[in-house]
Amino acid sequence: MSILNDVTVFDFETSGLDSKNCRVIEMAAIRCINGEIVSQFDTIVRQDFPGGLDPKIIDLTGITPYMLSTGMNELLAFKILKNLIGESLLVAHNAAFDLAFLHHSLMRLAGKTYGNSFIDTCTISRDRHVYPHKLTDMCDRYDIALSGAHRALNDVLATWDLLKALDAEGSVSGYVNRLGYLDKYGPPSWAPEHATLVPMKNRYAG
Report yes or no on 131 lying in a domain. Answer: yes
Does residue 147 lie within any of the structural domains?
Answer: yes
The total domain count for the chain is 1
Does the residue 20 lie in any domain? Answer: yes
pTM of the predicted model as reported, rounded to 2 decimal places = 0.96
For residue 57, what are the domain limits?
A: 3-200
CATH of the domain at 30: 3.30.420.10
pLDDT-based confidence at 1, cuts 50/70/90? low
Task: Place 27 in a pLDDT band, splitting at 50, 70 and 90.
Answer: very high
Question: Tell me, what's the pLDDT at 193?
Answer: 97
Specify if 205 maps to a domain: no
Quick check: is 34 in a domain? yes
Q: Is the pLDDT of residue 79 over 80?
A: yes
At a CB cut-off of 8 Å and minimum separation 6, what does 166 contact? 121, 124, 125, 128, 172
Residue type, 181: Y
Identify which of 69, 8, 13, 16 has the alpha carbon closest to the alpha carbon of residue 41. 8
DSSP for 12-81? EEESSS-TTTS-EEEEEEEEEETTEEEEEEEEEB----TT---HHHHHHH---HHHHHTSB-HHHHHHHH
